[in-house]
C-alpha cells in the first residue's frame, strides 16, 4: 500500500537560514508527488508537484523539491526562509493511476521560524 | 474565482448527536473529495465524488458517516451518531475533470469536537 513518511514532526530554523524538510514515500509505480502547506486558519495550499521529467521541481514561494527514485524521497528545500513560512507542511502522493485519484498524506512537519 | 468553502468552521457537539458538514466546491469542478485529520495525525482520504456519483468511498470509517452530493454541486457529510473518535478537522477539496492532472483545491476545513 502507498504511504508517506515525514520523519520530522517539528523543525525550528532561524529566519534567513536554509530549510530542508524530509519526505519518503512507498509506491510501486512512478508516483504523483506533492507538497502542501497549511498556514493557521487556512486551507491546504499546493506548493509544488512532480509527475515526470525533470526531477528538480520549482514551486511557489521560492520552494523546490527533488525527486530521488533510488531513495524514494521527495525532500522540500528553500534557500532562505522568511517568518511568513511558519506553517505546517505535508508531503503527499497520488494514490491511483488517475490524475483525479485520492491523495495520501504524510503526518506533517510543523515549521517554526526563530527571529 | 471563489475557493472551496466549508461550513461551519467549528462545531462542538455531544456524543450521540448528529452533525452535518457542508462543502461548496469551486464552480465547475466535477470532482469533490472529503478528507479528515484526527488528533494531529495524517490527513486521511474519506471519499471522492465525480459529479453526483461516489467514485471511491474506501476511506469512510463506518456507516455512521453519510456523504451526499445531490445535483453534483455542494456536498454534505453527516455523522450520526457522533462518537468521541470522530473529533478532528474535516477537509473538502475539489478539482476539475479527469482528462489530465487537475490540482485538488482545499477548503479551510471544519473543526469538529465531540464531547
The percentage of residues in chain B with a pLDDT greater than 70, rounded to a whole number, is 95
Contact between residue B90 and residue B108 where contact means Cβ atoms under 8 Å apart:
no
Using 50, 70 and 90 to split pLDDT, how confident is the model at A32? confident
Min mean pLDDT across A3-7, A51-55, A57-61, B59-63 is at A51-55
Residue A100 pLDDT greater than 80, yes or no: no
Mean pLDDT, range B12-33, rounded to an integer: 95
Nearest to A105 among B31, B42, B55 (CB): B42
Contact between residue B102 and residue B31 where contact means Cβ atoms under 8 Å apart:
yes
The percentage of residues in chain A with a pLDDT greater than 70, rounded to a whole number, is 95
- Is B90 buried (19+), middle (13-18) or exposed (0-12) by CB count in 10 A? buried
Contact residues on chain A for B43, CB-CB shorter than 8 A: 44, 90, 105, 108
Mean of the per-residue pLDDT values for chain A? 91
Contact residues on chain A for B31, CB-CB shorter than 8 A: 100
Contact residues on chain B for A103, CB-CB shorter than 8 A: 33, 35, 45, 104
The percentage of residues in chain B with a pLDDT greater than 90, rounded to a whole number, is 79
Q: Which of A94-108, B5-19, B28-42 has the highest mean pLDDT?
A: B5-19
DSSP code of residue A72: T
Amino acid at each position: 500500500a502507498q504511504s508517506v513518511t515525514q520523519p520530522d514532526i517539528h523543525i525550528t530554523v532561524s529566519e534567513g537560514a536554509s530549510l530542508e524538510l524530509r519526505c519518503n514515500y512507498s509506491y510501486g509505480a512512478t508516483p504523483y508527488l506533492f507538497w502542501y502547506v497549511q498556514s493557521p486558519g487556512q486551507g491546504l495550499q499546493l506548493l509544488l508537484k512532480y509527475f515526470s521529467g525533470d526531477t528538480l521541481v520549482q514551486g511557489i514561494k521560492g520552494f523546490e523539491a527533488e525527486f530521488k527514485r533510488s531513495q524514494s524521497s521527495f525532500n522540500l528545500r528553500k534557500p532562505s526562509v522568511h517568518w511568513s513560512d511558519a506553517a505546517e507542511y505535508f508531503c503527499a502522493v497520488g494514490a491511483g493511476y488517475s490524475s483525479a485519484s485520492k491523495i495520501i498524506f504524510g503526518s506533517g512537519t510543523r515549521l517554526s521560524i526563530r527571529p | 474565482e471563489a475557493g472551496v468553502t466549508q461550513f461551519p468552521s467549528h462545531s462542538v457537539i455531544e456524543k450521540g448527536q448528529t452533525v452535518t458538514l457542508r462543502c461548496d466546491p469551486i464552480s465547475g469542478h466535477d470532482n469533490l473529495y472529503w478528507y479528515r485529520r484526527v488528533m494531529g495525525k495524517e490527513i486521511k482520504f474519506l471519499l471522492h465524488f465525480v459529479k453526483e456519483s461516489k467514485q471511491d468511498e474506501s476511506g469512510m470509517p463506518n456507516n455512521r458517516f453519510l456523504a451526499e452530493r445531490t445535483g453534483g454541486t455542494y456536498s454534505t457529510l453527516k455523522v450520526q451518531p457522533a462518537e468521541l473518535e470522530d473529533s478532528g478537522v474535516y477537509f473538502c477539496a475539489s478539482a476539475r475533470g479527469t482528462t489530465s492532472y487537475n490540482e485538488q483545491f482545499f477548503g479551510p476545513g471544519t473543526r469538529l469536537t465531540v464531547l
